[in-house]
Structure 1
Amino acid sequence: MGPLAILLLGGYLRFRNLGEPRTLVFDETYYAKDAWSLLRTGYEHSWPDKADAAVVAGHPSFLDRASFVVHPPVGKWVIAVGEWLFGMNAFGWRFMLALLGTLSILLVARIARRLTRSDLLGVVAGLLLAVDGLHLVMSRTALLDGVLMFWLLAAFGCLLLDRDQTRARLAAIAERQPERLAGSGPRLGWRPWRIAAAVFLGLACATKWNGVWYLAGFAALVVLWDLGARRAAGVRHPCTRLVPDALTTGTVFFGIGLAVYLASWAGWFATDGGWDRRWADTHPAAGLATLVPDALRSLWHYHAAMWHFHTTLRASHPYMSHPWGWLVLARPVSYFYENQNVTGCGGDPCVREILALGTPALWWLAAAALPYLAWRALARRDWRASAVLLAVAAGWLPWFLYSERTIFYFYAAAFTPFLVLAATLTLGTILGPPVPGPRRTWGAITAGLLVLLVVLSFAYFHPLFVGDPLTTSEWNNRMWLRSWI
């Protein structure tokens, strides 16, 4: 019941006045239009600038030639579901992000419960995600990163279920058929949760390419978990299964992931108007390339162009930032700002802003928690700490390879739930074991005060997350760092 109560709170925060502002916000100008194009024809179109007013009015009629887009289709298809249900308007193109953001709160609560076996910490994790500013902003904006975050979180939850089922199966074998533990141990058989995780990871890669880092990282995590499970069950030579397990897991993850990724381009395959759809018609194949269908050759050429764009993007942007500063909130992104004809703040003048900024108390707590989890992983061999650290690293560290590229803080939305899990595990350590006494009392007081600080921090910055009117002085008081302006 605790996670469901937090779910209702998070849903209220995400759906309240979801259609405001009614205009396209930041990169919604790309993805809301791409989603509508996919819904209408199966592929993305370019839109003339004059189409923006018609989009905001809810009556878009501009579908120009095919557009060169640099992200796969799944995230835009998700946005399109809301537009199909509610029309081409602000509520419609934001609806699915708000829904996935709300559901992710329940996922985090249940994942934390499974990690810690604590009802209290499960509820705390859900609450922390519900009141995170970046998660709230990304749940109320039609960008791809919120969709990516949901698929990655769902995949992680499936892997936890697979881990528990695998260990339970080996424990049953150890009790009833111990002779099967000889040598390298038994095969682990049918594992539906691992397949489900591979599907979700395929959807993540088909939303944004950086999902591939999670696909590789989570595959390695499964192999190591299987090795630990065999060793814990008493298998005499568990390492002899390491290579076969790695090959099987790699085949499942990358095979299913590739199949899901290709399926996501179904609209492009099924039509003739998509970008570079008929490239192969004017570029005949030679040699072994003749064995590849023309449609796949055209898609490969398209992807080469996408890769070139992503790896050579150097355009300056006022809100670009280096990954080093993400965890400490060095440079958030302003999605929307208005200071003309704004009323409702109880003073004069009034301003409205939507600032993609994590709740400061939560993000600074999580930043402090990561070194502690690293120590837990290395010194105590804590599998929970290792898993959460890997999930944060897969979403954060690869961006250092492209730090000269134009990148933004809101890319951290993909690993925000895992930062919440890092903070929750640390709060669990502060809370201490469930044994009555001074240690538990002071731990509960300290952990409770930290959670309260996060909630109060969220409440203070909430107007900046949802674009509520503020007086100029109130807005200035919330600009704690000069780099936030």
Structure 2
Amino acid sequence: MADTAVTERPAVPTRTPPDVLHLLNRRAPWLLRHSGWLGPIAVALFAGVLRFWNLGYPNAFVFDETYYPKDAWSLLQQGYEGSWASDANEQILGVPQHIPLGPAPAFVAHPPLGKWVIGLGEYVFGLHPFGWRVMVALLGTLSVLMLARIGRRLFGSTLIGCTAALLMSVDGLHFVMSRTGLLDGVLMFFVLGAFGCLLIDRDRSRAHLAAAVADGADADLVRLGLRPWRLAAGLLLGAACSVKWNGAQILAAFGLLTVLWDQAGRRAAGARRPLRSMLRRDALPAFASLVLVGAGTYLASWSGWFATTGGYDRNWAEHRSGPGPAAFRSWWHYQSEMWHFNTTLTTPHTYQSNPWSWLVQGRPVSMYWQTVPTGQQGCTAPGGCTTQILALGTPFFWWTACFALLYVLWRWFFRRDWRSGAVLCAVAAVYLPWFGFQERTIFSFYMVVLVPFLALAVAQMLGALLGPPGCPPRRRLVGGVAAGAIVLAVMGCFLFFLPLYTAQVIPMTDWQDRMWFVSWI
């Protein structure tokens, strides 16, 4: 019997799939070279289209727009906030000059800078909804661009930075507050900008320290010299305080953060006594850069009040003796009255809430509401329609952020991850002080300042879910699918609630479908 020859099929040479980055570098090197800006700009443009679309609707004062746009117009016209006739409180009369503005001063509970920002839009476009919302929308859009760049610097990944920015661009609270002429969106912009400046200062000061040590200097003795990015942070934090006073607690927390970074930087450079070295050479310049510059910025924001004589309490000290110029003593008395008002306000409000409920969006604020009968404004539903603006954070995003904060806390506590510590510092500075106002009338939309840092926390968690570039491809694939599914779920949730963010006329039954909890009504 003849031997049966076993014929083996020749091996087919396998080809390793080309690396995506390699392909980009070969075919479109400019794209890879500028991805650190192109990606953030693309996300910011997406956010801008959302925020500027039909910005002038509704043609009415939305929630506290009945105060701040009028105050802004007063500042433009006379340098201080004046009183308004009662018939201007609930309607727009068209031409700005037709709205009766009285010369009598009005007591205002917040510093003037946020209203000056709103007033820039009114100066260009007039006193109507688009005019008083345009600057807030612009700052909301720019904050998305800033967050992408901040995330890129913080985590060393354009993908993670753009993911954080994309999540913020589709958060309902950030979206609504970017389309409303209130102060909190302006405050958020300045706080985020200060955080980014301190990150740049951290990187540059460490590079300077490393270069000095490489040249033979003692890490304990190196002086870091002028630090313009920390000065810029002080300017922005002073601007935050000049919008709302809760910027002061953020200034204090960021000041502590930056000097702790200095101490850690000196330790990493080989300093024998990093704490003593930081206290001797970094603490006082940090105080001057943040606190003194911030205080000067705050004082400058009141220049309209000082330059005129008709502002509230402007002449309070004229016939009262005391040290210092009368104008300054009058101003100080005004500050004390603002403090008393802001710390003792307990008037009940339908939409007030407790900070314990804010992270889970337990009680969002209805900023605008109208019932639309069948046959009007395009309503064809038998049960009638409604139109509403609800300051509700995208639920899937905020609920994911609760888990992300736990992950970031774990990273900071057990892994000593400085990036997680930076995010947690910002979260604590923005959020925790509100627990001290259990009796005060407060609202969940204050947390728009928190949104950028929640987005950073979620993006960091999604980056960990994706895995580092060196991990097995199957691990990256599974992690990428999971991370992508979370992002798509957040975007889908935002789209579902979009009618409640933009005052679209929808059937009452559709509105009821979106009221997932009784506390949202």
TM-score by length of 1: 0.96
- Would you say the 8 A contact 1:343–1:350 is kept in 2? no
Segment of structure 1 superposing worse, 24-33 or 52-61: 52-61
Asked if residue 61 in structure 1 is aligned to residue 99 in structure 2, the reply is: yes
- Would you say the 8 A contact 1:185–1:236 is kept in 2? no
Aligned to 2:5: none
Aligned to 1:40: 77
Q: Which amino acid aligns with 1:57?
A: G
Q: Which amino acid aligns with 2:114?
A: G
- Would you say the 8 A contact 1:337–1:353 is kept in 2? yes
The verdict on how the C-alpha distance between 1:54 and 1:430 changes in structure 2, with shifts beyond 3 A counting, is closer
Aligned to 1:432: 467
C-alpha displacement of 1:125 = 1.0
- Would you say the 8 A contact 2:372–2:387 is kept in 1? no
Q: Which amino acid aligns with 2:189?
A: F
Q: Which runs of 5+ in 1 are unaligned?
A: none
Distance 1:53 1:316 in 2: 21
C-alpha displacement of 1:431 = 1.0
SS at match of 1:149: helix
Distance 2:73 2:86 in 1: 16
Report the identity percentage.
Answer: 53
Asked if residue 308 in structure 1 is aligned to residue 344 in structure 2, the reply is: no
Q: Which runs of 5+ in 2 are unaligned?
A: 1-37
Distance 2:209 2:136 in 1: 39
Aligned to 1:94: 133
Q: Which amino acid aligns with 1:190?
A: L
SS at match of 2:107: coil
Aligned to 2:216: 178
| 2:172 aligned to which of 120, 128, 133 | 133
Asked if residue 336 in structure 1 is aligned to residue 368 in structure 2, the reply is: yes
Question: What's the CA shift string for 1:92-135, capped at 9, x where partnerless?
Answer: 00000000000000001110111111111111111101100000
Question: What's the CA shift string for 1:328-382, capped at 9, x where partnerless?
Answer: 0000000001113553355342211000000001011111111211111111111
Aligned to 1:450: 486
Distance 2:378 2:253 in 1: 48
- Would you say the 8 A contact 1:185–1:238 is kept in 2? no
Segment of structure 1 superposing worse, 3-12 or 44-53: 44-53
Distance 1:62 1:404 in 2: 36
C-alpha displacement of 1:58 = 3.5
Aligned to 2:27: none
SS at match of 2:311: coil
C-alpha displacement of 1:311 = 1.1
Distance 1:424 1:456 in 2: 17
Aligned to 1:160: 199
- Would you say the 8 A contact 1:22–1:56 is kept in 2? no
Q: Which amino acid aligns with 1:230?
A: R
Distance 1:169 1:346 in 2: 67
- Would you say the 8 A contact 1:54–1:61 is kept in 2? no
Q: Which amino acid aligns with 2:391?
A: A
| 1:146 aligned to which of 185, 189, 194 | 185
- Would you say the 8 A contact 1:185–1:237 is kept in 2? no
Aligned to 1:209: 245
Q: Which amino acid aligns with 2:480?
A: A
Distance 1:406 1:52 in 2: 22
C-alpha displacement of 1:55 = 3.5
Question: What's the CA shift string for 1:216-263, capped at 9, x where partnerless?
Answer: 000000000011111111222212123232222112211001100000
SS at match of 2:350: coil
The verdict on how the C-alpha distance between 1:430 and 1:141 changes in structure 2, with shifts beyond 3 A counting, is same
Q: Which amino acid aligns with 1:217?
A: A
- Would you say the 8 A contact 1:220–1:246 is kept in 2? no
Asked if residue 8 in structure 1 is aligned to residue 45 in structure 2, the reply is: yes
Aligned to 1:347: 381
1:358-377 residue pairs with structure 2 within 5 A? 358-377=393-412
Question: What's the CA shift string for 1:290-314, capped at 9, x where partnerless?
Answer: xx11111001111111111111111
| 1:19 aligned to which of 37, 56, 78 | 56
Aligned to 1:473: 509
C-alpha displacement of 1:438 = 2.0
C-alpha displacement of 1:172 = 1.4
Distance 1:174 1:102 in 2: 41
SS at match of 1:180: coil
Asked if residue 225 in structure 1 is aligned to residue 261 in structure 2, the reply is: yes
Distance 1:345 1:418 in 2: 40
C-alpha displacement of 1:75 = 0.1
Distance 2:242 2:301 in 1: 6
Segment of structure 1 superposing worse, 232-241 or 39-48: 232-241
- Would you say the 8 A contact 1:135–1:413 is kept in 2? yes
Q: Which amino acid aligns with 1:367?
A: C
Distance 1:345 1:213 in 2: 47
Higher fraction of helix: 1
SS at match of 1:421: helix
SS at match of 1:46: strand
Distance 1:8 1:179 in 2: 46
The verdict on how the C-alpha distance between 1:56 and 1:325 changes in structure 2, with shifts beyond 3 A counting, is farther
C-alpha displacement of 1:56 = 4.4
- Would you say the 8 A contact 1:430–1:443 is kept in 2? yes
Aligned to 2:454: 419
C-alpha displacement of 1:51 = 1.9
C-alpha displacement of 1:282 = 2.3
Distance 1:69 1:209 in 2: 13
Distance 2:415 2:473 in 1: 25
Distance 2:289 2:226 in 1: 12
- Would you say the 8 A contact 2:61–2:91 is kept in 1? no
The verdict on how the C-alpha distance between 1:53 and 1:450 changes in structure 2, with shifts beyond 3 A counting, is closer
SS at match of 1:318: coil
- Would you say the 8 A contact 2:47–2:144 is kept in 1? yes
Q: Which amino acid aligns with 2:292?
A: G
Matched length: 477
Aligned to 2:392: 357
SS at match of 1:81: helix
- Would you say the 8 A contact 1:219–1:250 is kept in 2? yes
1:182-261 residue pairs with structure 2 within 5 A? 184-244=220-280, 245-261=282-298
Q: Which amino acid aligns with 2:133?
A: R
SS at match of 2:388: strand
TM-score by length of 2: 0.90
SS at match of 1:98: helix
| 2:477 aligned to which of 435, 438, 441 | 441
Segment of structure 1 superposing worse, 132-141 or 120-129: 120-129
Q: Which amino acid aligns with 2:407?
A: Y
C-alpha displacement of 1:48 = 2.0
SS at match of 1:354: strand
